[in-house]
Structure 1
């Protein structure tokens, strides 16, 4: 009777077969399947399943981590990597996995970005914030010519994946001049380029209508609050095919109105799979 019970619970299918099938799904589906039965739960926790969900270069990623990543199973490693880890000395970028799909995400720190006049203290200052992933963030003191950007090698990203690029930021209480007029966000990869108009500050809908009438050619994006307390705004979307198109370039600028701009705090540029 015990044997028949065990067979009915797993449907008579060997655990390694269940593991193989689950490894062809997604991390989210595997976690859901673990609720079906004890047999599915055991199969869904196996290293064979979670090895498939980890990036193929995860050993290289672990070797670049600032702090050793400790784990007792591939499932534990997967979810450990869903929390960001500093890589490449912690000065350049941090890495994490998108929890539901296993897609690779990177955030580029401000010190690795292109920030026009970023080394001039009267224009930009460098400060430490406990809530930041990086040791330093960039605070905008005052500029009229606003131009920031960054790039990342597409070979670091998940292949055959649609990505979105984001500016991750905060605003000081005394921020001003960050839109309207809108800033131009752009993302370029190989021959592909996209452009959006964005405003980092809240603004009146009537002003927006006037601007759209005037600009009228580009889609507008809006900021949103993240779970970590920072804000983000999408700069554009791109498709990473096999990672052989070179660097994806991201930028945000306002160089036409030349109004004074203050109070922006930049944590970095993030690229992650578009869900």
Structure 2
């Protein structure tokens, strides 16, 4: 590891590389390499912490990951009329996404599973919260008379292509979704002391990749495309992929 601080003739040392260059290099290495490099060089550790968002889970010893809101696909997320990017002291990241209002709520992403640990059972969770005047309280729908609130659908497409779906009503987190003709199970959730809610969108088992196989991917989403009412004041922090305990 001593080479990290040395400079070759006519070149630059590892420590002089730009953060985005380091992040690109790290993306082509294994998670084990990333953890080793981050342990011996502060600039590599910073790049790993702020861009790849990976760590070793203390309970299982397996790799976990977080994808910040900035790295998610958010429909109309780049239009300040609908979404804004805000700093919050209770977030892990520099900015979180705050929904002003939309009719069509759709947040999703794909993940290359090469950064994760093989032979591991994972859960995928959306970390979000709602304000008092959000869709969860029904203010806008009742004000404009645009019908009943419908549930938000959480989904995960596993590496084998199988889709898992569940749902929650954000106006009443305990309301059953099975009795409303939608046929979904109730999305598991937990809430921390700051009000952030962790919705478990699904689970998957990551098998060992065979030499002849391509990269394994998962896809995950949180959406409500019922355009009979507006959605507002929902905060999106990140998506967490962690080994199941």
**Which TM-score applies when normalising by structure 2?**
0.71
CA distance in 1, matches of 2:67, 2:46: 10
What secondary structure, in the 3-state scheme, does the structure 2 residue paired with 1:99 have?
Answer: coil
Q: Following superposition of structure 1 onto structure 2, how do residues 103-122 of structure 1 map, counting pairs within 5 Å?
A: 103-122=62-81
1:159 and 2:124 correspond:
no
- Aligned residue pairs total 200
Q: Which structure exhibits the higher relative contact order, with contacts defined as CA atoms closer than 8 Å and separated by 6 or more residues?
A: 2
Contact 1:170/1:264 (<8 A) preserved? yes
Q: Following superposition of structure 1 onto structure 2, how do residues 215-230 of structure 1 map, counting pairs within 5 Å?
A: 215-226=181-192, 230=196
1:211-241: per-residue Cα shift (whole Å, max 9, x none)?
4223352211143113676321100111111
Residues 258 and 241 (structure 1), Cα distance of their counterparts in 2 relative to 1, 3 Å cut: farther
Structure 1 range deviating more: 171-180 or 157-166: 171-180
Which of 204, 207, 223 aligns to 1:241? It is 207
Q: Following superposition of structure 1 onto structure 2, how do residues 145-184 of structure 1 map, counting pairs within 5 Å?
A: 145-177=104-136, 180-184=149-153
1:25-59: per-residue Cα shift (whole Å, max 9, x none)?
xxxxxxxxxxxxxxxxxxxxxxxxxxxxxxx7433
Contact 1:150/1:269 (<8 A) preserved? no
Residues 140 and 68 (structure 1), Cα distance of their counterparts in 2 relative to 1, 3 Å cut: same
Cα shift at 1:171: 1.9
Which of 151, 155, 160 aligns to 1:186? It is 155
Structure 1 residue aligned with 2:198: 232
Unmatched 5+ stretches in structure 1: 1-55, 71-84
Residues 273 and 254 (structure 1), Cα distance of their counterparts in 2 relative to 1, 3 Å cut: same
CA distance in 1, matches of 2:82, 2:137: 15
Cα shift at 1:145: 0.5
**Which TM-score applies when normalising by structure 1?**
0.64
Cα shift at 1:270: 0.6
Cα shift at 1:64: 6.2
1:127 and 2:86 correspond:
yes
- Larger Cα Rg: Structure 1 or Structure 2? 1
Unmatched 5+ stretches in structure 2: 1-29, 139-148
CA distance in 1, matches of 2:64, 2:171: 26
Contact 1:61/1:87 (<8 A) preserved? no
